[in-house]
Structure 1
Amino acid sequence: MQPFERRNEHFDRLVANPDLRWMGQNTNHYPAHPDVRRAMVDCIENDQFHAYAPPAGLEELRQLILDDLGLEGLSPIVTDGAVSGLYHLVRTLCGPGDEFVTTDPTWAWPMAFARAAGADVIQIPIYGEEHGYRLAPERLRAAVTERTKVIYIVDPNNPLGTCCTAEEIEAIAAIAREAGAYLIHDSTYRDFAYEHHLAAKHYPERTITVWSFSKWLGFAGLRVGALIAHPEVAAKLAAAPPNNLGSSILAQRGAIAGLKVKKEWFANVLASQRRNQQRVKEAAEAIPGLHVPVYPSNGNFLIIECDKAGIRPEAIVAALDRHNIQIRHGSYHTKAFGDRFVKVSVTVPEEWVDEFCQFLPQAVEEARGMNMPIELF
């Protein structure tokens, strides 16, 4: 069986488990606002899904995206989730001989897209206390060359939860401008940050902001996201998109409703996930050898270091899986540092967090005895 088939079977098993506590993919499992549900039900009941959506997205949604981000004058393109937008971006902007500069850790898939386009991927290590788990602009400057075509920054960082300061973002934008490079500012988790600053406000001509409805609104399975770019860059992206027939009209109707009730609804989500973060930290650090190095996180997740406990991250994941709790091992995000940590998502019902905290000590003990190879994805 091919690896992609085993990967698919793995996730099919997870999806088929109605009792699974999804705490590894940063998905949001809080109940949707009634207006959001109503908008999607109306879309179905009125048979609106028979028609294609506009290729760049419903105009009402495009304007609401600009309003939410405060990026008037730029041009949004609605995509089939942020990852589809990233694929389109990287395959459009990168080619053989180009350099794609990012951090380590980062989100892995854009690197795969860059390599598939023939580009060389350059990673700047940011893991560890010596780096403060963040990217210093001067280290980015040292990594940029005349071949740098794209700088890719996940901010807040997935999986670390660190977030660039206003000064750092301004400096990163200046470095990208000096290099003549495109700056992809992946802001998927911006809504969970204590403060977030958009690079497009400093370098609008070649910054592309990536945003998603999967995390803050809980639309992971509906697949809707957006790219926001200078009109000239957007025109280049709109010339040959992977989907020129428009993203799901059902998802877009729900996204419109979500943005309209965001101030009312999301505050409770944010407060709850921050409470969940605290409980996970307390439970983890009550176990000798476990440590939460980035707290509070600016994402809807935390990393828990387990290397000093002498436990493999994959073993903890496998042990918790026995209790219907799914978390993520570090090597999904980074080969260099993946043996040090697991990642736990916290935009979930508080009772799920209670179960995680309850079973974590037992899972750690079970993990100590697991030495056999464990295949995870």
Structure 2
Amino acid sequence: MPTISKKGHLMPESPIRKLVPYAEQAVKEGKSIYHLNIGQPDIKTPEIALEAVKNNDVEILSYSRSQGSETYRIKLTAYYKKHNINVSHEDIIVTVGASEALLFLFSSIIDPGDEVIISEPFYANYIAFSTATGVNVVPAICNIDDNFALPSIETFEKLITPKTRAILICNPGNPTGYLYSEEEIKQLGAIAKKHDLFLIADEVYREFVYDGNKHFSVMELEDLEEHTIIIDSVSKRYSMCGARIGCLVSKNKIVMQTVLKYAQARLSPPTYAQIASEAALDTPQSYFDDVIIEYVERRDTLITELQKIEGIKIAKPKGAFYCMVELPIKNSDNFAQWLLEDFDVDGETVMVAPAGGFYSTPGIGLNQIRIAYVLNKESLIKAVNILKEALKVYKD
């Protein structure tokens, strides 16, 4: 019998999506599920983006350029300028989501066997992308006890080896909601320059920053144009996850020329989704102001309710819409599956994301879950109450 590749064996399951069959079965059994497991906002997509797809004069749904529509990329430069990121449209390559951008980037700047340092816990698919490209992840471990703050700069430097090619952060963070300060970004920039490394920032949650804090981009750093790279997406910003439009941004011409070769190999990003994404750039600031107010209220509601449960730890997020929670259990994979298969309160249960999949270090985070507060406040209160009742009866 033919066999699959070693790489295929090593490719991890999604810690979020692997529970879907259990959720589907629970629904078939008549249960209602509060989905705290995935970052799919319930915020409405801007009407201007939807209308652009419904009402246009496209007669032939043709390929776009491999680097993406020129009009969209030019319009993106104005968006970035508002955020103190000064780039030209030639510094942008449109991709099929931020996922493709990072996959192309790893393939372009890191050889198999080389290393990327990532602040841990991190977005689970970073492991998948590194596996697919043969890149070794070196974790800089963060701790829930200090709210997943960035490890010391000395810790980062100790992790650097002759095989290190890049440092990757998510700012604000998924799954932690941690927001890197301007000083922390500058410290990472100094390390990148000192050791001649790339500094990559996944900034898809740029808009979602709370409590009077401000987002500082790696591309605001001075004298680091050859080192800094942004990964971005419309998915969360405009509640357009299904559009699958992202981009890679850098002033490093060699990087962009190399990434473009991968973009050419997959031909082009989807045309209609680019039309919607371009129109979405005209979304008024009031949309984001309202969304931020809503997410702050949801975050505060979630934390208030979680604090009523004995024996747990909570990391308070400063951005994005995720919260990491440590539970008085041994294995959150088993717990999450049990919630779907064997537990409900009046026919309702919850679906959470086990946090072990957000770590590359074995044995860490097994008693943690990630909660996405993308539901309305009433639903969050009900969901946390179900979680509270479940922990009263759950046995490891």
Q: Same fold (TM over 0.5)?
A: yes
Residue 195 of structure 2 corresponds to 179
Equivalent residues of 1:28, 1:217 under 8 A apart? no
Of the three residues 265, 276, 279, the one matched with 2:301 is: 279
Q: Distance in 2 between matches of 1:112 and 1:269?
A: 31
Percentage of matched positions with identical amino acids:
20
Contact (CA 8 Å) 2:106, 2:135: kept in 1 or not? no
Other-structure match for 1:375: none
Amino acid in structure 1 at the alignment position of 2:219: A
Q: Residue 73 in 1 paired to residue 98 in 2?
A: no
User: Which SS does the other structure have where 1:339 is aligned?
Assistant: coil
Aligned to 2:262, the other structure's residue is in SS state coil
User: What are the equivalent positions in structure 2 for 1:144-293 lying under 5 Å apart?
Assistant: 144-193=160-209, 194-202=213-221, 203-230=224-251, 232=253, 233-241=255-263, 244-292=266-314
Cα displacement (A) at 1:296: 3.8
1:296-330 deviation per Cα after TM superposition (whole angstroms, max 9, x unaligned): 43121111111xx2464234423553535322111
Letter in 2 for 1:227: L
Separation of aligned partners in 1, 2:59 and 2:241: 21
Moved more, 269-278 or 90-99: 90-99
1:280 offset after TM fit, Å? 0.9
- Which residue identity lines up with residue 156 of structure 1 in the other structure? P
1:34 aligns with 2:56: no
Return the alpha-carbon distance in structure 2 between the equivalents of residues 153 and 285 of structure 1. Answer: 29
Give yes or no for contact 1:224–1:251 (8 Å, CA) kept in 2: yes
Cα distance change, pair 106–145 in 1 and its aligned pair in 2 (3 A): same
Give the alignment partner of residue 327 of structure 1, picking from 352, 366, 377: 352
The count of corresponding residues between Structure 1 and Structure 2 is 363
> The residue matched to 2:263 in structure 1 has which SS?
coil
Deviates more, 1:132-141 or 1:149-158: 132-141
Q: Which runs of 5+ in 2 are unaligned?
A: 1-7
Are 1:360 and 2:387 counterparts?
yes
Q: Which moved more, 1:348-357 or 1:269-278?
A: 348-357
Separation of aligned partners in 1, 2:312 and 2:330: 9
Q: 85, 92, 112: which is aligned to 2:108?
A: 92
State the alpha-carbon separation in 1 of the partners of residues 127 and 365 from structure 2. 16
CA distance in 1 between counterparts of 2:132 and 2:44 reads 38
Conservation of the 8 A alpha-carbon contact between 1:208 and 1:228: yes
Contact 1:49 1:250 in 2 (8 A): no
Distance 1:243 1:328, change over 3 A: farther
Q: Name 1:341's counterpart in structure 2.
A: 368
Task: Provide closer, same or farther for how the CA distance between residues 15 and 273 of structure 1 changes in structure 2, counting only shifts above 3 A.
Answer: farther
**Cα distance, 1:284–1:177 mapped onto 2, change above 3 Å:** same
Question: What SS is found at the alignment partner of 2:323?
Answer: strand
Report the more deviating stretch, 238-247 or 223-232.
238-247
Letter in 2 for 1:38: E
Aligned CA-pair RMSD: 2.8
**TM-score, length-scaled by structure 2:** 0.82
Change (3 A) 1:134 1:207: same
Paired residue for 1:135? Answer: 151
Equivalent position SS for 1:260: coil
Q: CA deviation at 1:116?
A: 3.8
Write the letter of the residue equivalent to 2:324. I
Q: 1:184 to 1:191 in 2, by over 3 A?
A: same
1:314 is aligned, of 333, 337, 340, to 333
Q: Cα offset for 1:76? A: 1.0
Asked whether the 8 Å contact 2:46–2:280 carries over to 1, the reply is yes
**Contact residue 91 and residue 113 of structure 1 kept, 8 A:** no
132-141 or 264-273: which moved more?
132-141
User: CA separation of 1:343/1:173 partners in 2, compared to 1, >3 Å: closer, same or farther?
Assistant: same
Per-residue CA deviation, residues 306-365 of structure 1 (Å, 9 max, x unaligned), is 1xx246423442355353532211112014422231111113333432331342222223
- Secondary structure in structure 2 of the residue aligned to 1:92: helix
One-letter code of the match for 2:309? I
Residue identity opposite 2:372 in structure 1: S
- Point out where structure 1 has 5 or more consecutive residues left out of the alignment: 372-377
